[in-house]
């Protein structure tokens, strides 16, 4: 989106440099990547990223301050996830934006979705550094937000994830982590902040504490960095050695109740120019006429699962009445192709990653998905070049 930077990059790009990028990322991840890393970083005006960061924080603050929205969200949380130890405000928040073309010919962000859940805080940091190293990007470009640099970013996220504890007393908890596409982030989290990744079945409960065994010794867990997606937990029936309602003496980073509390269910309550028109399905009387411009979304699916574009009457009729409150109809965000590549103009979805720190929700990094398919996810862009996971850079003084 910054023509001079884009033209310079495209002109100097070589397959060898891209291979170097892939090699750097793979070496630092330490495990195979199961998703595509794009051939290019993305260059954004600082003002646009800052607008997204401020908008996302304002949307979250507005939701948290609205008692009606909070009450409706609370009613959607399954009782089995309403346990003790929840954060008073979400520790990790992700807000996804599409970039659209305005009537005046400029560009503006539009909300796609938001979620109180962790994201790739380790991998995205490494990806940004790898782009700088592999491509020799110009000085003055940074992937960090809110005045952070690499050193202060690592210190901030360590404080959020580990807190005052020994990292050996903190675990990243995920279902079958060796099978997850996010496994590279788990490995990087271990190398950066010393946090081991565990399947919940490796844990056990004794005397109101969670424990694990390390090198034949038992060690109590004081803090859980929760990466278990409730949707996957429900779908797989993966057994847990505890109940979220248990009175456990443990701190949570990303308690599962927040996954339900701050989610797509909040969008109909948000009044902001960046928010597309959104309706809860059970409150819609018939299918709007302009359905070609609508998207049907389940509230609690992850990574784009279950989304239907231009839903038909049959699509709606297939959803049982008792489940309709768990779906949204949303005005489709018309992504503008804003990244010029040798394979054509390409769209970019920008996730602003936040952490709760210093009494406020702080933006730390953008995460970029590039694509020319219907959706930005890698699964929807297979076989295409210059798409996939990318890093977002902006010029900063």
Q: What does the DSSP 8-state code read for residue 346?
A: B
Which run of H or of E encompasses 364?
Answer: strand 360-371
- For 87-140, write each residue's pLDDT tens digit: 999 999 999 999 999 988 899 999 999 999 999 999 999 999 999 999 999 999
Q: How confident is the prediction for the chain on average, in pLDDT?
A: 93
The structural domains of the chain, with segments of one domain joined by +, span 3-276+333-395
> In whole angstroms, what is the distance from residue 313 CA to residue 316 CA?
5
In terms of DSSP H, where are the helices of 136-170? 150-162
Radius of gyration of the chain (CA): 21
The residue count for the chain: 397
> In whole angstroms, what is the distance from residue 203 CA to residue 200 CA?
5
Mean pLDDT of 234-253: 94
- State the pLDDT at residue 312: 87
pLDDT > 90: percent of the chain: 84
Which run of H or of E encompasses 308?
Answer: strand 308-309
| Identity of the highest mean pLDDT range in 181-185, 278-282, 381-385 | 181-185
- For 6-52, write each residue's pLDDT tens digit: 999 999 999 999 999 999 999 999 999 989 999 999 999 999 999 99
Q: How confident is the model at residue 339 (pLDDT cuts 50, 70, 90)?
A: very high
> What is the model's pTM?
0.94
Residue 81 predicted with pLDDT over 70: yes
Which run of H or of E encompasses 97?
Answer: strand 92-101
Residue 287 predicted with pLDDT over 80: no
Residue 373 predicted with pLDDT over 80: no
| Cα separations in angstroms, 37 against 40, 75, 214, 217, 337 | 8, 39, 34, 39, 19
Residue 172 predicted with pLDDT over 60: yes
> In whole angstroms, what is the distance from residue 169 CA to residue 130 CA?
30
Residue 378 predicted with pLDDT over 60: no
Mean pLDDT of 312-320: 88
Q: How many CB atoms lie within 10 A of CB 173?
A: 23
Mean pLDDT of 282-294: 78
DSSP string for 245-289:
TS--S-EEES-HHHHHHSSGGGGGG--STTSPPEEEGGG--S--T
Q: How confident is the model at residue 304 (pLDDT cuts 50, 70, 90)?
A: low
- State the pLDDT at residue 376: 61
Residue 110, strand partner residues: 98
- For 380-391, write each residue's pLDDT tens digit: 566 789 999 999
Residue with tokens 């990059």: 9
Q: For residue 198, what are its two tokens?
A: 């565990």
Residue 186 predicted with pLDDT over 60: yes
Residue 348 predicted with pLDDT over 80: yes
């Amino acid at each position: 989106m910054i023509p001079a930077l884009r033209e310079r990059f495209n002109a100097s790009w070589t397959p060898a440099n891209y291979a170097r990028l892939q090699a750097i990322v793979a070496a630092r991840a330490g495990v195979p990547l199961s998703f595509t890393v794009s051939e290019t970083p993305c260059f954004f005006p600082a003002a646009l990223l800052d607008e997204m960061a401020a908008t996302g924080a304002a949307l979250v603050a507005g939701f948290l301050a609205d008692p009606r929205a909070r009450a409706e969200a609370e009613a959607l949380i399954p009782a089995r996830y309403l346990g003790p130890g929840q954060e008073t405000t979400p520790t990790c928040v992700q807000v996804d934006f599409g970039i659209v073309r305005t009537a005046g010919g400029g560009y503006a962000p539009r909300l796609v979705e938001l979620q109180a859940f962790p994201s790739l805080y380790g991998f995205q940091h490494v990806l940004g550094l790898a782009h700088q190293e592999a491509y020799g990007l110009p000085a003055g470009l940074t992937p960090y937000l809110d005045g952070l640099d690499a050193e202060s970013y690592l210190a901030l996220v360590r404080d959020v994830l580990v807190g005052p504890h020994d990292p050996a007393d903190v675990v990243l908890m995920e279902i079958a982590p060796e099978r997850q596409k996010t496994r590279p982030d788990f490995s990087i989290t271990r190398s950066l902040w010393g946090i081991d990744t565990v399947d919940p079945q490796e844990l056990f409960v004794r005397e109101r504490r969670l424990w694990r065994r390390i090198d034949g010794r038992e060690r109590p867990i004081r803090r859980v960095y929760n990466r278990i997606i409730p949707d996957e937990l429900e779908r797989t029936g993966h057994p847990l050695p505890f109940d979220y309602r248990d009175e456990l003496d443990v701190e949570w980073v990303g308690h599962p109740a927040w996954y339900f509390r701050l989610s797509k269910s909040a969008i109909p309550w948000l009044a902001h120019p960046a928010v597309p028109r959104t309706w809860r399905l059970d409150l819609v009387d018939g299918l709007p006429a302009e359905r070609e411009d609508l998207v049907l979304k389940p509230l609690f699916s992850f990574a784009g699962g279950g989304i239907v574009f231009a839903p038909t009457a049959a699509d709606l009729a297939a959803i049982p009445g008792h489940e309709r409150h768990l779906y949204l109809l949303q005005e489709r965000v018309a992504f503008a192709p804003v990244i010029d590549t040798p394979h054509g103009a390409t769209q970019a979805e920008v996730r602003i990653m936040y952490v709760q720190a210093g009494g406020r929700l702080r933006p730390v990094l953008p995460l970029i998905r590039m694509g020319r398919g219907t959706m930005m996810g890698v699964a929807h862009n297979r076989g295409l070049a210059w798409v996939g996971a990318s890093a977002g850079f902006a010029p900063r003084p």
